């Protein structure tokens, strides 16, 4: 299976799993398109870490990478503006744990490592048996946000998945069929 086919299949599966939340993704992407400062936004170092993880999960090939479509900014809005203070603090602490793993394993920040070293660290986190302990807990939350952001981005929906946002075409002056009115069922004969 080629990567593009895998992306289409994964995108379709992801879209089905998020049917309850597409308005949220649209609102977040719209928020990003409008611009403006993100209150209590993540730091540049945290966004670089998120970008490194995102591009390891969804690297650039014949389709855009996660950072190409703006996934780190998507995650920033979700975490900064939609998480509770406690959830945000836990997420940031988890990002610190991922960074600590990179530094203890490879001697540098994850974003500064070669892609093969980044992949090795992320694979080690994915292999952990418990997803409840850090850094695995935050990594799996981040992975879900990355995939959600990627497959709901306009660029991926239009150019990779080929989703037609408004199928068909709009015809404002389309003729309306005229239907004969049916006789009333209440027994009102002669009042049609």
- Asked if pLDDT for residue 187 goes beyond 70, the answer is no
C-alpha distances in angstroms, 148 versus 1, 31, 36, 92?
Answer: 22, 16, 22, 19
Taking residues 166-190, report their average pLDDT. Answer: 64
Span 133-147, mean pLDDT? Answer: 95
Region 125-134: what's the mean pLDDT? 92
Mean pLDDT is lowest, of 31-40, 83-92, 139-148, for: 31-40
Instruction: Tell me the percentage of the chain whose pLDDT exceeds 70.
Output: 76
Helix, strand, coil percentages (3-state) for the chain, rounded to 5, are 60, 0, 40
Cα–chain center distance at 17? 12
Assign 17 a pLDDT band (cuts: 50, 70, 90). very low
CA distance 124 to 95: 15
Q: For the chain, what is the mean pLDDT?
A: 83
Residue 18 has pLDDT above 60, yes or no: no
Residue 10: which pLDDT band, with cuts at 50, 70 and 90? low
Q: If you search the block for the tokens 């027994």, which residue do you land on?
A: 187
Q: For the residues 109-120, what does the mean pLDDT come to?
A: 96
Residues 148/18, Cβ–Cβ less than 8 Å: yes
Distance between CA atoms of residues 185 and 148, nearest Å = 51
Tell me the chain's radius of gyration from C-alpha atoms: 23
Banded pLDDT at 16 (limits 50, 70, 90): very low
Q: What is the DSSP string of 36-54?
A: -PPTTPPPHHHHHHHHHHH
Please state which of the ranges 15-29, 105-119, 163-177 shows the lowest mean pLDDT.
15-29
Is-cis flag, bond preceding 135, omega within 30?
yes
pLDDT tens digit sequence for 54-89? 999 999 999 999 999 999 999 999 999 889 999 999
Q: Residues 6 or more apart from 24 whose CB is under 8 A from it?
A: 82
């Amino acid at each position: 299976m080629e990567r593009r086919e895998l992306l289409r299949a994964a995108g379709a599966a992801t879209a089905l799993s998020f049917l309850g939340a597409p308005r949220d993704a649209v609102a977040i992407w719209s928020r990003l398109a409008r611009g403006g400062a993100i209150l209590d936004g993540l730091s540049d170092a945290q966004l670089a870490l998120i970008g490194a993880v995102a591009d390891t999960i969804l690297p650039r090939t014949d389709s855009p990478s996660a950072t190409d479509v703006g996934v780190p900014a998507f995650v920033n809005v979700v975490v900064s503006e939609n998480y509770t203070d406690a959830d945000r603090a836990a997420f940031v602490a988890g990002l610190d744990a991922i960074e600590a793993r990179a530094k203890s394993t490879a001697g540098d920040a994850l974003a500064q490592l070669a892609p093969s070293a980044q992949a090795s660290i992320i694979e080690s986190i994915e292999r952990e048996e418990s997803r409840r302990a850090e850094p695995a807990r935050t990594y799996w939350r981040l992975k879900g946000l990355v995939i959600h952001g990627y497959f709901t981005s306009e660029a991926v929906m239009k150019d990779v998945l080929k989703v037609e946002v408004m199928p068909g075409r709009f015809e404002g002056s389309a003729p309306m069929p005229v239907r004969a009115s049916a006789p009333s069922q209440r027994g009102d004969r002669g009042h049609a």
